[in-house]
Amino acid sequence: MPRTSLLAAAAALLLALPATAIAADPLPVGKAQGVRVTGARTGVVFHFGPGAASLRREVAGRRVAVSCTALPRDEDKLGVVPGGSSGGTYVRVARRRAPLRTGMVEPTADYCSLGLPGKSPLVSVPLTQAGAIVLDEREKASMLLSLQLIAGTIGDRVTPSAYPTPARFVASREARSLTAGGYPIVALAAPTDTPQGRRAFGYWSDGGRSAAFVTLSASGRRLYLQVGPDAALSTNIAGAIFGAED
């Protein structure tokens, strides 16, 4: 497949993320990857539990960037739209194990993030259902982009600028590794099909330049990235990745 950089892909992503529906089954909030966030109304505090031991070691004694994001609501659609306002600061993490007190008061925040300055967040913790859904879609959108790059690399091994057939991709070492890790990769019979289950990722290709990558978000929304024979991208994950709007 053509090796399109993410920057070039951003310009080609024409379809923005529509308003996000609320999940039928509530998603967990307040905690992610062993990190718990409290005090949004009085002062945001990050608590590192046993499940965040490696993350805690990575940031111990270092200056970190923390931010909290309030997502805008589309009252007509009763959903969340891309973008949002963020408040942030820099805090030094104590070397000893202790909660990280940021001093930030963010009563309307939907999620808070922590990471090293200038880099992607190490963890993002949802504080509301809206925040949980947005973070879920962002993670799955990133996965779809990764699958496109993986499939393209596999296809190039046999035929330059071609994607592997669904059967070949699902049988690949990379896909089997993801399936074993709890992210089932399944073959789709058509680009319009949708995989069953909200952890599964579907793949279709004609064995040439066309391919489709599909999954379901926690809210039940179909997320897709489709590549045409002319390398044009059709997708609805632009908002999740780039914050684009209609």
Closest CA to 69 of 81, 85, 82: 85
Tokens of 156: 């190039």
pLDDT at 52: 96
| 137 within 8 A of 221, measured Cβ to Cβ | yes
Question: What angle is formed at CA 225 by the lines to CA 224 and CA 228, rounded to 5 degrees?
Answer: 130
pLDDT at position 207: 95
Listed by start position, the domains of the chain span 6-22+132-242, 31-127
Q: What is the pLDDT along the chain (246 residues), one digit of tens a residue?
A: 444 433 334 333 323 333 344 445 789 999 999 999 999 999 999 999 999 999 999 999 999 999 999 998 764 444 444 455 667 999 999 998 899 999 999 999 999 999 999 999 999 999 999 999 999 999 999 999 999 999 999 999 888 889 999 999 999 999 999 999 999 999 999 999 999 988 999 999 999 999 999 999 998 999 999 999 988 899 999 888 776 543
* CB distance 9 to 1 below 8 Å: no
Per-residue pLDDT, 243:
61
- Its pTM stands at 0.79
From the list 198, 200, 165, the residue with the least C-alpha distance to 179 is 200
Q: What is the dihedral of CA 124, 12, 232, 165, to 10 degrees?
A: -10
What span, in angstroms and rounded, lies between the C-alpha atoms of 47 and 142? 26
